A and B are shown apart, each in its own frame.
Chain A
Amino acid sequence: QQQVKQSPQSLIVQKGGIPIINCAYENTAFDYFPWYQQFPGKGPALLIAIRPDVSEKKEGRFTISFNKSAKQFSLHIMDSQPGDSATYFCAARFSGSRLTFGEGTQLTVNP
């Protein structure tokens, strides 16, 4: 009930491509859905987040699409760059402020 399932586990795209990372959840008590980016040796950094009453949110090259009925949300990275190569985590806020994270997607953007 508290799990967030993320796919794919790894993703390789060419520069300029649009990688899409998907997450699914079960617990309807989740009320806040952020995406984090993590580089090796660093802590996760907040990229973008969405509340369940919104179906899409864009910030720069990053877009979250949210489907409340399907209990799914996804991250799209427009015009991807080699500097976007990192591990991406989706998460969901549960019962207060605790975040439950997905398993992560290792993204590689080739030049």
Chain B
Amino acid sequence: DTGVSQDPRHKITKRGQNVTFRCDPISEHNRLYWYRQTLGQGPEFLTYFQNEAQLEKSRLLSDRFSAERPKGSFSTLEIQRTEQGDSAMYLCASSALDRGDYGYTFGSGTRLTVV
């Protein structure tokens, strides 16, 4: 296992289209997180899962955003009816918190551009 994998790396979409991103965490990590990062800013929390359960969602996660983690393995983040303000880097991270490991491992992100 080489780390957290995100796909695609880049996505350009027209305003109003739906997009879906995938994240494959480190296999033994039971927690998976989604963050959004805009240029020149720190990552902002969106949501996280423990196994297949979605435990917390940020107010940033509007009704157009939905995340799933079926079977507690990979996760998908879908954005419906994209807007130009959705343009950002979407980062996925995983951790094994229940083993006392608080450190996140981040993927390289999916850069979304809405035109």
Contacts of A102 in B (CB 8 A): 42
Contact of A99 with B45 in the complex, beta carbons under 8 Å: yes
- Asked if A103 contacts B95 (CB within 8 A), the reply is no
Nearest chain A CB to B78 CB, angstrom units: 20
**Cβ A97 vs Cβ B97 within 8 A:** yes
Contact call A49/B41, Cβ cutoff below 8 A: no
- Which chain A positions have C-beta within 8 A of B56? 96, 98
Could you tell me how many residues of chain B have their Cβ less than 8 Å away from some Cβ of chain A?
24
- Which of A34, A42, A93, A98 has the most B CB atoms < 10 Å from its CB? A98
Interchain Cβ contacts within 8 Å, total number:
56
Set of chain A residues within 8 Å of B4, measured between Cβ atoms: 43
Dominant SS at the A interface?
A: strand
Give the residues in chain A near B48, CB-CB below 8 Å: 97-98
Q: CB within 8 Å of B: which of A56-95? A: 89, 91, 93
Q: How many residues of A contact B (CB 8 A)?
A: 23
B31 within 8 A of A: yes
A49 touches B97 (CB 8 A): no
Specify which chain B residues have a CB less than 8 angstroms from the CB of A34 in the assembled complex. Answer: 102-104
Q: Which of B39-75 contact A (CB under 8 A)?
A: 40-45, 48, 55-56
Q: Which residues of chain B from 69 to 115 have a CB within 8 Å of any chain A CB?
A: 91, 93, 95, 97, 102-109
Of all chain B residues, which has the CB nearest A95?
B56
Cβ of B42 and Cβ of A43 under 8 Å apart?
no
What chain A residues lie within 8 Å of B31 (beta carbons)? 97
| Chain B residues near A (Cβ < 8 Å) | 4, 31, 33, 40-45, 48, 55-56, 91, 93, 95, 97, 102-109
